[in-house]
Structures are given as structure tokens and as C-alpha cells.
């Protein structure tokens, strides 16, 4: 079993790092008191493969007197034959101050009359032994989230994990609202509407007659070709910035005909570009048959 203890300065990005590690398959626990790490690790070790990789955030929130015991606990875990390593995240004082001001949160070491700088410098001194004994040290001072993610994948991710980007293509009807989870939204209401063809009205965009009708127009083919070129350009850029899931929404009036046919075709084209792709038709089975 692998145990990664995450510690470091408040505001340096420990919780964000834990989320990225969770994406990599770690079982993560935030704000784990140092004295609870050993019994929790023993529980995980006895529970089989479910807890094969564990990441525990232990920091100043657990009390300033916990850091000597944290180092002792790590030593005891290693003595038991467990693969236990310490990741320390830091940043310069100016960056810590700026981040706290942006979030308007209070530093956990601030006392009455203290400034954020006072608290940050006191924490830096308290955590110096941890920093000196860390197996991995990441300075997030000039590090955007995408760079932190990339660094963590480089250190702890399996080969190929960093490049993973999944695309979910969702059809919907504007009359039912835009999917709130959508990153990109495309409106296909400019296309001729199969709803007004009586023999197609009761069918959906997954049925061949509707699909053939939608794609019988040159504008539909041109639209898909241009859309494919757009995604050929966009998807590598999203991946480079650390995005792991992209939701693409395609809408028509009712979400039953045009958007469904386009979503099926677009999902197939994105899959051919080499990305893990799923499709979902949110409103296709709604029975309020007005305006298609």
C-alpha cells in the first residue's frame, strides 16, 4: 500500500493537490490529524485493494503541536514496511498573503492583532522541519493550477493519465433549458426542422429517416466539418491546460430531432480524433411534442 502525506503552508494549494491526486486514483482525506494517521493506515492496509493508494492532507489545521508527531508517524509507517512519502507544498509569503486576500479567508494561525504576514511567517518557521524532511517539494509561487496538476501527474500518475481528456456530448432542447454543466454550447436551430415533416415527427434523431433528412442539407455537412476542425484545434489545448472532462451541448428547439442527430455524429467524429467520448440525449424522450 502507498501512503502519501501532503503537508505544507496554508494557501499553498494542498486541497487542490488532493483533488488532482483523487483524479489519479488515490483515496484522499483532507485535514487528517497527525495522531489519526497510523490507525487509519492500519485500517486501510487490512481492507484490501480498495485503499491501495492513499493521500492524506495533514497541516496546521490539526494543531501546531502535531508536526513533530507527524514526522514520527511517517517513520513508524515506514518501519512497518509501508511505502509512505511526504509531499510538501510551499509558496513565498507575498503569494500566500495575496491568495488569502483574494479568498477573504482567515489564516489558521492568525491571532488578535496579527496580520496575514505575521501568521504566514510563523507557520513557515513551524513547518521548517517538515520541509527539510520532505520527499517531494513543490513551490506553487508562480504555478497555475494546470502546472500543479502536470507536476503531480509527473510525480505520481500512471503513464498516459496526464493526457486523459474525456468528452461528453449532450443533446438538449432550448425550451427545456441549457444544461448547466455545459462547457461549450452549439445551437443547431438554423437547420431545417424534421418536426414539420409529418412522417418524421414521432421519430427521433437516432432513427435513420430523421438522420438522413438532417444530413441531406449541405449546410449540415459544412457545419459538422467546421465543428470537427474546431475540436481538432481545441481539444489538445484543453488537455494541455489540465482539463479532464469537457461537456459539449448541442441544442435544438425540443431536443428530439436535429440536436440528437448532430450529437451522434459529433460524438463519433470526436472519438475518431482519439478521445474518450460519451453521448447523452437529455430531452429526446420528452413527449411534449411541440416545435421539435
Which of 124, 156, 188 terminates a domain? The answer is: 156
Percent of the chain with pLDDT over 70: 94
pLDDT at position 290: 54
Residue 91, classed as helix, strand or coil, is coil
Say yes or no: 7 and 144 in one domain: yes
Of 180, 198, 266, 196, which Cα lies nearest the Cα of 231? Answer: 266
pLDDT at position 85: 95
Would residue 109 count as lying in a domain? Answer: yes
Q: How confident is the model at residue 61 (pLDDT cuts 50, 70, 90)?
A: confident
Residue 163: is its pLDDT beyond 70? no
Q: Which three cell numbers stand for residue 2?
A: 502507498
Query: Taking a C-beta distance cutoff of 8 angstroms, is the pair 152, 17 a contact?
Result: yes
Would residue 291 count as lying in a domain? Answer: no
Which of 89, 121, 156 terminates a domain? The answer is: 156
What is the side-by-side strand order in the sheet with 53-57? 27-29, 53-57, 2-8, 83-90, 136-139
Say yes or no: 133 and 173 in one domain: no
Would residue 242 count as lying in a domain? Answer: yes
Q: Domain tally for the chain?
A: 2
Give the number of C-alpha atoms closer than 13 A to the C-alpha of residue 134, restricted to the C-beta side. 19
pLDDT at position 291: 59
Say yes or no: 47 and 147 in one domain: yes
Would residue 42 count as lying in a domain? Answer: yes
Q: How confident is the model at residue 45 (pLDDT cuts 50, 70, 90)?
A: confident
Which of 156, 181, 202 terminates a domain? The answer is: 156
Say yes or no: 186 and 130 in one domain: no
Residue 145: is its pLDDT beyond 70? yes
pTM of the model: 0.60
Over range 133-144, report the average pLDDT.
Answer: 92
Would residue 103 count as lying in a domain? Answer: yes
Residue 158: is its pLDDT beyond 70? no
Over range 225-244, report the average pLDDT.
Answer: 90
Say yes or no: 27 and 68 in one domain: yes
Query: Taking a C-beta distance cutoff of 8 angstroms, is the pair 3, 83 a contact?
Result: yes
Q: Which CATH number is 107's domain given?
A: 3.40.50.300
Say yes or no: 137 and 225 in one domain: no
The phi and psi torsions of 172 (rounded to 5 degrees) equal -155, 165
Say yes or no: 88 and 198 in one domain: no
Would residue 62 count as lying in a domain? Answer: yes
Would residue 287 count as lying in a domain? Answer: no
pLDDT at position 97: 92
- What average pLDDT does the structure give for the chain? 89
Residue 171: is its pLDDT beyond 90? yes
The phi and psi torsions of 92 (rounded to 5 degrees) equal -75, 160
Say yes or no: 82 and 131 in one domain: yes
Q: Which three cell numbers stand for residue 278?
A: 460519451
- The string of pLDDT tens digits covering residues 257-283 is 999 999 999 999 999 998 889 999 999
Over range 243-263, report the average pLDDT.
Answer: 94
Range with the lowest mean pLDDT among 80-84, 174-178, 242-246?
A: 242-246
pLDDT at position 243: 80
- Quote the domain boundaries for residue 174: 166-281
Say yes or no: 26 and 142 in one domain: yes
- The string of pLDDT tens digits covering residues 73-126 is 999 999 988 999 999 999 999 999 999 888 878 888 888 778 989 999 999 999
Say yes or no: 128 and 209 in one domain: no
Q: How confident is the model at residue 289 (pLDDT cuts 50, 70, 90)?
A: low
> What is the CB neighbour count within 10 angstroms for residue 159?
7
Give the integer Cα–Cα distance in Å for 199 and 38. Answer: 68
Say yes or no: 197 and 86 in one domain: no
Q: Which three cell numbers stand for residue 100?
A: 488569502
Residue 205: is its pLDDT beyond 70? yes
Residue 66: is its pLDDT beyond 60? no
Query: Taking a C-beta distance cutoff of 8 angstroms, is the pair 186, 251 a contact?
Result: yes
Would residue 172 count as lying in a domain? Answer: yes
Say yes or no: 120 and 255 in one domain: no
pLDDT at position 221: 95
Residues in contact with 88: Cβ distance below 8 Å, sequence separation at least 6, in sequence order: 7, 8, 127, 130, 131, 134, 136, 137, 138
Q: Point out which residues pair with 186 in neighbouring strands.
A: 250
Amino acid at each position: 500500500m502507498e501512503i502519501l502525506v501532503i503537508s505544507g503552508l496554508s494557501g499553498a494549494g494542498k486541497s487542490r493537490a488532493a483533488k488532482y491526486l483523487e483524479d489519479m486514483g488515490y483515496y484522499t482525506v483532507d485535514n487528517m490529524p497527525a495522531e489519526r494517521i497510523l490507525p487509519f493506515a492500519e485500517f486501510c492496509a487490512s481492507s484490501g485493494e480498495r485503499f491501495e493508494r492513499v493521500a492524506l492532507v495533514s497541516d496546521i489545521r490539526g494543531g501546531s503541536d502535531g508536526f513533530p508527531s507527524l514526522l514520527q508517524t511517517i517513520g513508524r509507517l515506514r518501519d512497518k514496511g509501508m511505502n509512505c512519502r511526504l509531499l510538501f507544498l510551499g509558496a513565498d509569503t507575498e503569494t500566500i498573503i495575496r491568495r488569502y486576500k483574494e479568498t477573504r479567508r482567515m489564516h489558521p494561525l492568525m491571532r488578535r492583532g496579527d496580520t496575514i504576514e505575521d501568521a504566514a511567517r510563523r507557520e513557515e518557521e513551524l513547518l521548517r522541519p517538515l520541509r527539510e524532511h520532505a520527499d517531494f517539494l513543490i513551490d506553487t509561487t508562480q504555478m497555475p493550477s494546470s502546472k500543479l496538476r502536470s507536476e503531480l501527474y509527473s510525480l505520481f500518475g500512471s503513464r498516459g493519465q496526464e493526457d486523459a481528456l474525456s468528452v461528453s456530448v449532450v443533446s438538449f432542447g432550448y425550451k427545456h433549458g441549457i444544461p448547466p454543466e455545459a462547457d461549450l454550447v452549439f445551437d443547431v436551430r438554423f437547420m431545417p426542422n424534421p418536426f414539420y415533416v409529418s412522417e418524421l415527427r414521432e421519430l427521433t434523431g437516432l432513427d435513420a429517416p430523421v438522420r438522413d433528412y438532417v444530413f441531406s442539407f449541405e449546410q449540415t455537412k459544412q457545419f459538422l466539418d467546421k465543428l470537427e476542425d474546431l475540436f481538432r484545434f481545441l481539444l489538445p489545448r484543453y488537455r494541455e491546460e489540465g482539463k479532464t472532462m469537457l461537456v459539449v451541448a448541442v441544442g435544438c428547439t425540443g431536443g428530439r430531432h436535429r440536436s440528437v442527430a448532430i450529437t451522434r455524429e459529433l460524438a463519433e467524429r470526436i472519438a475518431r480524433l482519439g478521445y474518450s467520448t460519451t453521448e447523452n440525449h437529455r430531452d429526446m424522450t420528452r413527449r411534449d411534442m411541440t416545435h421539435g
